[in-house]
């Protein structure tokens, strides 16, 4: 697979009408598989159109991944999942028509101004609500990370939506009409900082893999950092495989965390998947049962009102990430590097440790 994709020139698509209904007004963002445009529909309403790039269309695997994302999102109508309104093919280019989102990615929020811990917990509940709905439909995300979660301030509280189901897996392939697996056992896909041990070693992944990734997101929202951080791929993967996550209260100055929340995160991040929550539904129920505040900075607050940071109302913006590919920015490494790191780790760990994870 090529790790460089030649993008369609911006002026070739801006101004064009897609599917006879959507006029592309402005290019908002781009990735390895294509670009996202601000557009208007026939009624004059605003929307976002994600266009697959011509070079990517020529790769059957990439086209299938794009189409699977369309199928998954179109079926997942939920307040905490990105709304897809239409999809089709225009002059050979597949496209998705989505709601136009205002706000920023959760990754940007955490980096620019880490939310207060209870606000982070509430955002994690939103993520789990969307994911629980997906799991109920037999859909796994497999690439949950802060970059793939969108947040916006509605005037009273932060709200979160799940984005980018490009690595989606359908638990019942016949039901979804795919007829074949998107990836083969032994393949490694995803983002290392959020990847479960079984996903990192190329083993079969179920809803408990998504639970692990949400556990990382929750940890990040409460503490402002990942539980496992290192300067190289081999070390971070080794930590996922072997090292327990640090207690959250030690990761942020002045942070107090309820024991119930510490226990919940430790369970979500268990190395063996059969020791985690069965799915997002079960994890959400456990999180909602924890009294508020589940965590706080300094003196315990007396009210649960979410306090927005100074820049809670940023200029209108939208960025719907492309399916994770080798040239994706920020915290995602090249897949080939991940595979090399995993096999290096397993070699260093030895056969006994390798058996432990492969059999779990």
Least confident of 50-59, 113-122, 202-211, 340-349: 340-349
> Could you report how far apart the first and last alpha carbons of the chain are, in Å?
31
The C-alpha atoms of residue 46 and residue 208 are separated, in whole angstroms, by 37
Question: Choosing from 116, 126, 143, 164, which is the catalytic residue?
Answer: 143
- pLDDT at position 306 is 62
3-state helix, strand, coil in the chain (%, to 5): 40, 15, 45
Q: pLDDT tens for residues 116-155?
A: 999 999 999 999 999 999 999 888 888 899 999 999 998 8
Q: Which strands form 158-162's sheet, in the order they lie side by side?
A: 104-105, 149-153, 158-162
Q: Does residue 279 surpass a pLDDT of 80?
A: yes
Beta pairing partners, 296: 256
Lowest mean pLDDT among 2-6, 84-88, 234-238, 315-319: 2-6
CA atoms lying within 13 Å on the CB side of residue 88: 9
Q: Is 48 exposed, middle or buried (0-12, 13-18, 19+ CB in 10 A)?
A: buried
- Distant-in-sequence, close-in-space partners of 34: CB < 8 Å, separation ≥ 6: 7, 8, 50, 51, 52, 53, 56, 66, 322
Please report, rounded to a whole number, the percentage of residues in the chain having pLDDT higher than 90.
50
Instruction: Find the mean pLDDT for residues 247-275.
Output: 97
143 is a catalytic site residue: yes
Supply φ then ψ for residue 73, to 5 degrees.
Answer: -65, -35
Higher pLDDT, 239 or 190: 239
> Tokens for 225?
């950092």
Contacts of 7 by beta carbon, 8 Å cutoff, 6+ apart: 30, 34, 35, 53
Is the per-residue pLDDT at 177 higher than 50?
A: no
Domains of the chain as residue ranges with CATH: 10-98 (3.30.200.20), 114-173+183-313+331-359 (1.10.510.10)
Q: Which two tokens stand for residue 141?
A: 């995300």
On whether the CB atoms of residues 125 and 108 are closer than 8 A, the answer is: no
pLDDT band (50, 70, 90) for residue 213? very high
């Amino acid at each position: 697979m090529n790790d460089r994709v030649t993008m369609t020139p911006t002026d070739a698509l801006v101004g064009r009408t897609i599917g006879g209904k959507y006029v592309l007004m402005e290019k908002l963002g781009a990735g390895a598989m294509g670009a996202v445009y601000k557009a208007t529909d026939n009624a004059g309403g605003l929307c976002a159109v994600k266009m697959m790039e011509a070079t990517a269309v020529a790769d059957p695997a990439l086209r299938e991944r794009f189409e699977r994302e369309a199928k998954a999102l179109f079926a997942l109508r939920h307040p905490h999942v990105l709304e897809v309104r239409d999809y089709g093919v225009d002059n050979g280019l597949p496209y998705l028509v989505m709601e136009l989102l205002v706000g920023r990615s959760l990754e940007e929020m955490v980096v620019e101004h880490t939310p207060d811990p209870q606000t982070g917990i509430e955002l994690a509940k939103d993520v789990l609500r969307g994911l629980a709905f997906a799991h109920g439909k037999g859909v796994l995300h497999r690439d949950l990370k802060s970059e793939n979660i969108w947040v916006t301030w509605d005037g009273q509280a932060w709200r979160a939506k799940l984005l980018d189901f490009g690595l989606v897996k359908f638990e019942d392939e016949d039901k979804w009409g795919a007829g074949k697996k998107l990836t083969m056992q032994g393949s490694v896909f995803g983002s290392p900082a959020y990847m479960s041990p079984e996903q990192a070693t190329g083993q079969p992944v179920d809803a408990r893999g998504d639970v692990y990734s949400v556990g990382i997101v929750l940890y990040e929202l409460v503490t402002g950092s990942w539980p496992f951080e290192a300067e190289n791929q081999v070390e971070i993967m080794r930590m996922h495989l072997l090292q327990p996550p640090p207690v959250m209260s030690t990761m942020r100055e002045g942070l107090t965390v309820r024991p119930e929340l510490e226990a919940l995160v430790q369970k979500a991040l268990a190395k063996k998947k059969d020791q985690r929550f069965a799915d997002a539904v079960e994890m959400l129920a456990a999180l909602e049962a924890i009294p508020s505040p589940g965590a706080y900075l300094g003196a315990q607050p007396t009210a649960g009102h979410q306090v927005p940071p100074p820049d809670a109302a940023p200029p209108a913006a939208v960025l719907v990430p492309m399916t994770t590919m080798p040239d994706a920015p920020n915290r995602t490494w090249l897949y080939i590097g991940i595979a090399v790191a995993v096999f290096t780790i397993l070699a260093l760990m030895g056969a006994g440790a390798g058996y432990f994870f492969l059999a779990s």
